[in-house]
Amino acid sequence: MMLNSTLSHFILGAYLHVGSLRYLCFTVTALLYAVILAANLLLILVICVNRSLHEPMYMFLCSLFVNELYGSTGLFPSLLLQILSDIHTVSAPACFLQVFCVHTYVSVQLINLGVMSYDRYLAICCPLQYNRRMSTSRAALLVALTWVYSFLSIVFLICLGASLQLCGTIIHKVYCDNYSIVKLACSDTTINNLYGLVVSCVFVIGLIVMILFTYVRILQVCFSGSRQTRQKAVSTCTPHLASLLNFSFGCLFEVVQSRFDMSRVPSLLRVILSLYFLTCPPLFNPVVYGLKITKIRDLCKHLVFGQM
């Protein structure tokens, strides 16, 4: 039976029955969300109010932290409500809104990390041309294009998903995502699959090629350059590389969990793996990058010791 004409809600079927541990899970999840909000907001504030940080690298970092707030907010409020609920339903509009938030978060994060790798390539491999090739205005344009492209591409994806005739309402996740909705379709999904395949291949493969190229060139400069050059490359690229690998592993966990039979994997582990890319990067990145910003260290010293 086709349900689109009367579809008003979806059922999130992956929530575990935790019984009396419900309030403990709620408290831990709320604390996790609070830490993510505080850490990312602090870094955004420090970058915005300090003129010495109004440089391309920090503009990309600011975009990264804003996106992590955005992605976390697309997940955690709904997650907290569902933990306290006995019936894990979500309205169709709210579900598609969450799909939009989650997928734009992924898109912005990947593009942002790709642009940051190019920025580090210019700084290390073309230092004399850096200010000309990566000006503040050009960095602002790249940030704007990252968000505009992500929003437009995901809007089209949502339109394709919303036009499908669905024969089910159960999403086997703790949040809504496009692939889970497409799997419920009983109408032709060829256009959805082709769009997803083309965008993924062009988008993901293009970014991978660019990132590999930048790091090959950076390694070449490191091996042929001075000790000072190697130290600069390590200090500037290590946080970015760690952030990139962390997010990539999270996306890989999600892809494997969504597209392959994971019934032999414990339910709790499946839930954790599906949430990894939405929770760990927003926690991990502020720590990694925050320790590299002197203003953050000074602020922490002031809070702990009462001095700057």
Query: At residue 308, does pLDDT exceed 70?
Result: no
pLDDT of residue 5: 44
Query: At residue 254, does pLDDT exceed 70?
Result: yes
* CA distances to 81, 96, 176, 190, 192 from 74, in Å: 13, 11, 10, 28, 23
pLDDT in tens, 55-79: 898 899 999 999 999 999 999 999 9
Query: At residue 283, does pLDDT exceed 70?
Result: yes
Percent of the chain with pLDDT over 70: 92
pLDDT band at 253, cuts 50/70/90?
confident
pLDDT band at 176, cuts 50/70/90?
very high
Rounding to the nearest 10 degrees, give the CA dihedral for residues 253, 254, 257, 258.
Answer: -160
Q: Higher confidence at residue 10 or residue 86?
A: 10
| Chain-centre distance for alpha carbon 226 | 35
pLDDT of residue 138: 94
* CA distances to 54, 123, 243 from 240, in Å: 18, 14, 5
Residues 150, 160, 163: CA angle, nearest 5 degrees: 145
Please say whether the beta carbons of 94 and 100 come within 8 A.
no
What distance in Å separates the CA atoms of residue 37 and residue 236, rounded to the nearest whole number? 25
pTM of the model: 0.90
pLDDT of residue 106: 94
Query: At residue 51, does pLDDT exceed 60?
Result: yes
The first and second tokens of residue 133, run together, are 């090739």
Average pLDDT rounded to a whole number, residues 3-14: 73
pLDDT of residue 266: 84
Average pLDDT rounded to a whole number, residues 293-298: 69
The first and second tokens of residue 15, run together, are 């929530």
- Run of H or E including 32: helix 22-49
Domains of the chain plus CATH, in order, are 9-305 (1.20.1070.10)
pLDDT in tens, 189-226: 888 888 888 887 778 888 888 888 998 888 888 777 67
pLDDT in tens, 113-165: 999 999 989 988 888 888 889 999 999 999 999 999 999 999 998 998 888 88
